Amino acid sequence: MPEPGPSPSQSRLADAMALVGARTRIAHSEPHSDTTGDLTPWLGEESRAVAGPAASALERILRGPSGVGTTGLYPTRREEPPTPREPGTPVEGTPVPGLYHHPVAEPDPVRVEEISHRIKRWAVDEVQACPPEWEDQFDGFSVGRYMVACHPDSPTVDRLMIATRLMVAENALDDCYCEDHGGSPVGLGSRLLLAHTALDPLLTTREYEQPWAESLQSDAPRRAYRSAMEYFVQQATPSQADRYRHDMARLHLGYLAEAAWAETDHVPEVWEYLAMRQFNNFRPCPTITDTVGGYELPADLHAQPEMQRVIALASNATTIVNDLYSYTKELDSPGRHLNLPVVIAEREGVPDRDAYLKAVEIHNDLMRAFESEAAALAAACPVPSVLRFLRGVAAWVDGNHYWHQTNTYRYSLPDFW
């Protein structure tokens, strides 16, 4: 009996990889990105020497088509750099000194205003996730500015609303189940499981389907999860929806680990904390960048270990950004909040300032690893959907930092400099 040939997905990947030959590793370079999240600048002179003809082919693909009628393919591409601020105009927020990041252009104010209006109407009227006493906090979160900054290539406001609803739903659950608004580690597993069925519906007998369906209206997180997911699946492919459910399960697993430590008053080792943060992190957000962009990264390409490494590194780095910017906010909150500087200080016996600065270094190492892995994958597999997805993830990383830096309503930096 003849040996079976490769599956269609294996064949597609093999064909893609053959475009540039064996995978090219571009390590120890100093990559950077512009405001579009383009990967082209990551291939400097040294990298081109290593990559050879593959790099030249990659640059042509990354540049994409040019000429009359092709500008619309790149809605965030600029022929000229962004207009600088007027002299004397203060930049909102201060970046963490020494933090490796890329500044971005101000998000489109028209889109920001429209998204902000729509999401508040959804949160207040449609899912009742924002009572009047939380309104100032909701407005201060600036979710419209956040999502427009993170998804600059989204073709429509409707697409941007996919990410915005999911972001608000995730934060509603975090606040109500884990954090400020009634959250507790006690019984968290049961609450998370039932909320997860709003994303991954329960399949049961007719007798018990009705009480389950009614339970989805019982609290703000479940109402928000159910509604946001319904909107999402209308514009996502089945594989994109399943990918998101998987990453939300990862997130909930990370919540449970942190809750277990809180219940036992345990401070994890630094490596244990970083393991938890690989699950309790922003991963569900960049993983939907193609849905928000109006295209699909095929499931077989998304599942490749190299792509999964890129997504995981990006998510880990952006989550450490949150630890650094929210450091003083969490210190001022009741109880002990675990974040990377706090864990380093306690487990490694160093002063708070040294622990914070070491956390900055860890972030920078993760960022450079993300960019190196992304550049290598772009060289090895220059399929248009892969390249666009990598640009989208890079844009999400940059937009996430922009939002943390500029959200002075929520965050302020410690006095360590």
| pLDDT one-digit tens code per residue, 300-319 | 999 999 999 999 999 999 99
Orientation angle between helical segments 352-380 and 384-406, nearest 10 degrees: 160
Confidence of residue 180 (pLDDT cuts 50, 70, 90): low
pLDDT, residue 68, reads 33
pLDDT, residue 131, reads 87
pLDDT, residue 44, reads 35
Best-predicted range by mean pLDDT among 24-38, 77-91, 129-143?
A: 129-143
Mean pLDDT of 152-170: 97
**How many whole angstroms separate alpha carbon 14 and alpha carbon 7?**
10
**How many whole angstroms separate alpha carbon 266 and alpha carbon 214?**
37
Which of 106, 107, 108, 104 has its CA nearest to residue 33? 104
pLDDT, residue 71, reads 37
CB 195 within 8 A of CB 90: no
User: Residues 360-371, buried b or exposed e (16+ Cβ, 10 A)?
Assistant: bebbbebbbbbb
Distance of CA 100 to the CA centre of its chain: 17
Residue length of the chain: 417
DSSP letters, 159-221, are HHHHHHHHHHHHHHHIIIIISTTT--STTHHHHHHHHHTTTS-----HHHHHHHHHHTTSSHH
Cβ burial of 253 (10 Å; 0-12, 13-18, 19+) is middle
Give 385's contacts (C-beta < 8 A, 6+ positions apart).
290, 295, 296, 297, 298, 301
Mean pLDDT of 179-204: 90
pLDDT, residue 63, reads 44
Over residues 106-131, the pLDDT tens digits come to: 999 999 999 999 999 999 999 999 98
Give percent above pLDDT 70 in the chain. 77
* CATH superfamily label, 97-406: Farnesyl Diphosphate Synthase (1.10.600.10)
User: Residues 152-163, buried b or exposed e (16+ Cβ, 10 A)?
Assistant: bbbeeeebbbbb
Mean pLDDT of 30-47: 38
| φ and ψ of 246, to 5 deg | -60, -45
Give 192's contacts (C-beta < 8 A, 6+ positions apart).
173, 177, 252, 255, 256
pLDDT, residue 261, reads 96
Q: Is pLDDT at 352 greater than 70 in this prediction?
A: yes
Mean pLDDT of 284-290: 97
CB 166 within 8 A of CB 232: yes
Mean pLDDT of 259-283: 96
Q: Is pLDDT at 215 greater than 80 in this prediction?
A: yes
Q: Is pLDDT at 347 greater than 60 in this prediction?
A: yes
Which of 222, 164, 226 has its CA nearest to residue 194? 222
Of the ranges 86-90, 182-186, 193-197, 377-381, which one carries the lowest mean pLDDT score? 86-90
**How many whole angstroms separate alpha carbon 63 and alpha carbon 389?**
15
